[in-house]
Amino acid sequence: MKRISTILFFILVLACPAFSQLTAQWHNESFMHHTVNPALLGQYTELQVGILYGRRWDRLRSSPSEVHAAFSMPFKNDRMSLGLSLKHAEIGPLMASGAGLQYAYTFPLGIYRGDKLSLGLSAQVQSSRLDPSNFLAADQGDIVLMDRDNRMAVPPSVNIGFHYASGAASYGQPIAIQVGGAYARFIPYSDRFNIASYARTYQLYGRLAMQAFLGEETALETQILISDDGRNVQTAVRSSLDFVPYGWVALQYNSLSQLMTQAAVRIKINEAFEDRLLLVGSYVWNFGTVGSDLGSGFSIGVGYKRQLSQ
């Protein structure tokens, strides 16, 4: 009994960052950022499909792992965009799955270099469960597990956000600035379905980015990413050098003492439709006690983009 209780406590402690990443944090892969702020759909001019897989610690056998998939597409009138996301996370016997739908509408402002403002709305549903089969065989008949309902509903959440862009950067117009934010909140409802308890009921996000073209096909982008759940504020600074036809390299450091390195390659697969395949790999060094004991993390992603006719 004591051993089971200790295991369950350990799982819940480690699950907090896993679920936080599942619902509340900026992804390392930028083509997933609209799942945090739906208004970012307004800056996409292409049909995009992406999938990624990641592990938090490479030295821990039961390290939290995640799979995310996202789809986004602008409408023909270039004002509305739609997105869909799916996700699944595991940490030992604890598993969570969810789906989200995102929508954005863009207003051309015409104040400065074709700038525009996008407003976004998204909704997300999730569920989680505890799989006793992943415990030791000797513990599977323990009364703590036998009396427990292993399925838990997670309250649905909604996100609203905005995104302002000063206009697309190019070699002739070398500087572009973007700023945006989002507010996410769980929707409370009566505990009739064994709902997981969440002390955090809302989340705030912020993003500030500046892109500068250094040459006809080279751009430097710096982003500041912020996430605030009312108890902790997490920040990250990301800088990427984009060789426009070929891919990019990036560095990111956050307030959790994590350093991420990333490389991406673009592969053109259809000239007529400007189809491109995107391969992304990220490696995250964790510093301090966690880093020395549990190791580092990684993620890999594959994306596909197609330019839609207007």
pLDDT at 172: 67
Question: Rounded to an integer, what distance in angstroms lies between the CA atom of residue 198 and that of residue 196?
Answer: 6
pLDDT at 197: 47
All residues at 6 or more sequence positions from 141 whose CB lies less than 8 Å from its CB, including other chains? none
All residues at 6 or more sequence positions from 130 whose CB lies less than 8 Å from its CB, including other chains? 11, 93, 94, 95, 148, 150, 152
Contact 43, 179 (CB under 8 A): no
Closest to 96 in 3D by CA, of 106, 86, 105, 104:
86
Average pLDDT over residues 6-13: 37
Contact 6, 136 (CB under 8 A): no
- Element housing 213 (H / E): strand 202-215
Structure tokens at 142: 């323990």
Average pLDDT over residues 10-30: 51
Average pLDDT of the chain? 78
pLDDT at 290: 60
Can you say how many angstroms the Cα of residue 271 is from the centroid of all Cα atoms in its chain?
Answer: 30
pLDDT at 236: 93
pLDDT at 150: 58
Q: How confident is the model at residue 135 (pLDDT cuts 50, 70, 90)?
A: low
pLDDT at 20: 41
Task: Sort strands 202-215 and 175-186 into parallel, antiparallel or unpaired.
Answer: antiparallel
Closest to 284 in 3D by CA, of 243, 251, 255:
251
All residues at 6 or more sequence positions from 302 whose CB lies less than 8 Å from its CB, including other chains? 50, 51, 52, 277, 278, 279, 280
Q: Which residue has the higher pLDDT, 224 or 154?
A: 224
Q: Specify the CATH architecture of the domain 2-307.
A: Beta Barrel (2.40)
Closest to 121 in 3D by CA, of 150, 87, 88, 161:
161
Q: What is the pLDDT of residues 39-77, one digit of tens each?
A: 999 888 888 999 999 988 877 777 788 999 999 998 877
pLDDT at 95: 83
pLDDT at 126: 82
Average pLDDT over residues 8-25: 41
Residue 195 is given by DSSP the state: B
All residues at 6 or more sequence positions from 112 whose CB lies less than 8 Å from its CB, including other chains? 166, 167
Structure tokens at 306: 């197609």
Average pLDDT over residues 237-253: 92
Comparing 103-107, 118-122, 256-260, the range with the smallest average pLDDT is 256-260
Q: How confident is the model at residue 133 (pLDDT cuts 50, 70, 90)?
A: low
Q: Which residue has the higher pLDDT, 222 or 110?
A: 222
pLDDT at 192: 46
pLDDT at 183: 92
Question: Rounded to an integer, what distance in angstroms lies between the CA atom of residue 104 and that of residue 116?
Answer: 12
Q: What is the pLDDT of residues 265-281, one digit of tens each?
A: 999 888 766 788 999 99
Question: Rounded to an integer, what distance in angstroms lies between the CA atom of residue 53 and that of residue 86?
Answer: 12
Q: Which residue has the higher pLDDT, 59 or 221?
A: 221
Can you say how many angstroms the Cα of residue 187 is from the centroid of all Cα atoms in its chain?
Answer: 20
Q: Where are the domains of the chain?
A: 2-307
Question: What proportion of the chain, given as a percentage, has pLDDT over 70?
Answer: 75
Closest to 299 in 3D by CA, of 45, 67, 48:
67
Contact 252, 29 (CB under 8 A): no
Average pLDDT over residues 15-30: 55
Please say if the pLDDT value at position 23 is more than 50. no
Task: Determine the residue type at 101.
Answer: L
HSE toward the beta carbon, residue 249, CA cutoff 13 A? 1
Q: What is the pLDDT of residues 145-203, one digit of tens each?
A: 444 555 666 678 899 999 999 876 666 678 889 999 999 887 765 544 444 444 456 78
Q: Which residue has the higher pLDDT, 229 or 71?
A: 71
Question: What proportion of the chain, given as a percentage, has pLDDT over 90?
Answer: 34
